[in-house]
Chains A and B, each alone.
With several copies, the nearest count.
Chain A
Amino acid sequence: MREVAAVGFGMHPWGKFEDKSVTELCRHAVEASLQDAGVQWRDVEAVAAASSRFSGGKGWGLNGNDVVEDMGSTGVPVYNLSAGCSAGANAFNIGYTLVASGAHDMVMVVGGEKMPKGFIQTSGVEEHTDPEFLRQRCIGMPGPAFWAVLCRRRMHEHGTTEEQMAKVAVKARKNGALNPNARYRKETNVEEVLKSALVVYPLHLFEICAVSDGAAAVVLCSAEKAKQLTTKPVWVGGSAVATARFDDGITRGIGGMVPPGITHHSEAKAAVAKAMSQAGVGPKDLSLVELQDNTVYYELAFPEEWGLCEPGQAEWLLEHDETTPTGKLPINPSGGFISFGEATTAQGLFQICELGWQLRGEAGARQVPNAKVGMSQTIGLGGNATAVVLKN
């Protein structure tokens, strides 16, 4: 496998854009990434795209083809990847593999999404063999309830308080306020968070990410190309994809096995471990982490599930400001999903753009000092997860 560099990062800000098509959002991101890399659309040899359920793709998930038709049909191979909320970084992994293998020297990775309003429904089919249907019809349990159950369990195990959870949101929004690409750019405070609507106990509105529109793109290339383009390439240390294991403690339907110990988010844990191992780095080497905070709960649970801190230590790190951009373990300096909202299939790529900008020292007021190694992670429907390690 060859070394792979990330030489262009582009993003359309996250938000709600009634007047723009997803094609326009993607064009903005793709053009920005090309300009950032100093290359032309014609230099792109292949496209790996997040395949969307909600927007574009001719109703068939052909979102990469939409981008190619819009930017100019050069005949390049296109790969459209479906992986729920992990699609963006799943596509990144394919882009990485296409360059690492020597199949291509320059690949565009892109994800864009315009989200419908309200809760994300997974299938909508009224079918008795669909576990999603059974959960909603027989138990009255919509998706976000999972987060809430896990969160409440954590409160029991580690004594996590509602104030601490609110502080995660406060920290996220503080970072988001410093990020021109974030949707929510106003700081908040613990009181305001706890006064926001209780969505599903113990989680409040400000502690769960909204749905947004957005697009992001990354240009990957070989070491040889990278050296022609820049003196400061960012390198892909690791890119991993994994799926949930059979013994995962989060049952995917309405019933599963009582797991042997704590095996939650086995897909995320496996992806993170593999990406770090590929990159030859350990928890101590991480300058920053962009993790998937659909809810504040994840920011407390993930670091310890991955061995970045001890069980129960996440709250301590938070209380001691160690997860801020200037702390020991900066988490989501971008502002995270809490500040961006979720444009499902594009999420993995906004994280990777943030890693790139941080490693180059271009993150402005939210800059992590002396950032050398960054890791991002997503988790999506179907038991999909990804992790990416970028380094200088």
Chain B
Amino acid sequence: MATVHAVEGLFADTPNGPRLLGSRCATCSAPYFPKSPVCHNPECTESKIEDAEFGPTGKLWGFTFQVFPPPPPAKYDEPFKPYPMGFIDLDDGLRVLGQVSIEDLTKVAVDMPVEMVIEPLFHDEDGNEVVTWKFKPS
């Protein structure tokens, strides 16, 4: 029984704390998550992609609640428990999707400051704890 990532290579608990692993174009500073081999910004004059970490702080731009069990390929632990999720605008210029990690669902609010965390998403067939990136109020 280990802790495994929902998908490998998307995030890490770095010495500085949890971060999303993406890339950024050195020419036009466009952020990419997941990593992109080339810059897709049509205004960019030269694609210069470098590895970049994103997070941990930002604001919740908008949100919703998943009130029914999501269809596959989503996975969740039984019994299903509703969760909030939304678009998070990170301070470093990345808009990213993610779940909001919060106990009291009535406290979720637009423009709420949040901070990235790595938390359990579900347990797989082998009993492993599968973790992903989420955002908690900061």
Contact = CB atoms under 8 A, between A and B. Distances in A.
A363 interface: no
Contacts of A135: 97
Interface residues of A, number: 48
A255 B94 contact: yes
A54 interface: no
Contact of A200 (B66, B72, B99, B121): B66
A139 B94 CA distance: 16
Which of B8, B34, B90, B99 is the most central at the interface, judged by chain A CB atoms within 10 Å of its CB?
B34
Interface string A70-82: 1111100000000
Contacts of B61: 149, 153
Contacts of A249: 95
B85 to A, nearest CB: 5
A310 interface: no
A284 interface: no
B10 interface: yes
A71 B47 CA distance: 11
Grouping DSSP codes into helix (H, G, I), strand (E, B) and loop, the A interface class, with mixed when no group exceeds half, is mixed
A19 interface: no
A139 B93 contact: no
Given A42-B42, A258-B89, A126 B95 contact: no
Contact of B38 (A70, A126, A201): A70
B41 A246 contact: yes
B110 interface: yes
Interface string B42-56: 111000000000100
Contacts of A128: 7-8
Contact of A73 (B42, B54, B96, B99): B42
Contact of B70 (A71, A141, A156): A141
Contact of B42 (A71, A153, A199): A71
B66 to A, nearest CB: 6
Nearest to B133: A138
Interface string A136-161: 11111110010011111100100000
Given A72-B44, A133-B73, A139-B132, A201 B99 contact: no
A135 to B, nearest CB: 6
B22 interface: yes
Which of B7, B42, B110 is the most central at the interface, judged by chain A CB atoms within 10 Å of its CB?
B42
Contacts of B67: 198-201
A41 interface: yes
Given A139-B132, A156-B62, A257 B34 contact: no
A223 B38 CA distance: 33
Contacts of A258: 89-90, 93-95
Interface string B79-117: 000010111011001111111000000000011000000
24 contacts: A72-B41, A74-B42, A124-B73, A126-B73, A134-B34, A136-B71, A137-B75, A139-B132, A140-B85, A141-B97, A151-B64, A152-B62, A153-B61, A246-B40, A246-B41, A251-B87, A255-B20, A255-B95, A255-B96, A257-B30, A257-B31, A257-B93, A257-B94, A258-B95
Given A70-B38, A121-B71, A149-B62, 8 more contacts: A69-B40, A72-B44, A137-B6, A141-B99, A156-B62, A246-B40, A255-B22, A259-B95
Interface of B: 6-8, 10, 20, 22, 30-34, 38, 40-44, 54, 61-68, 70-76, 83, 85-87, 89-90, 93-99, 110-111, 121, 132-133
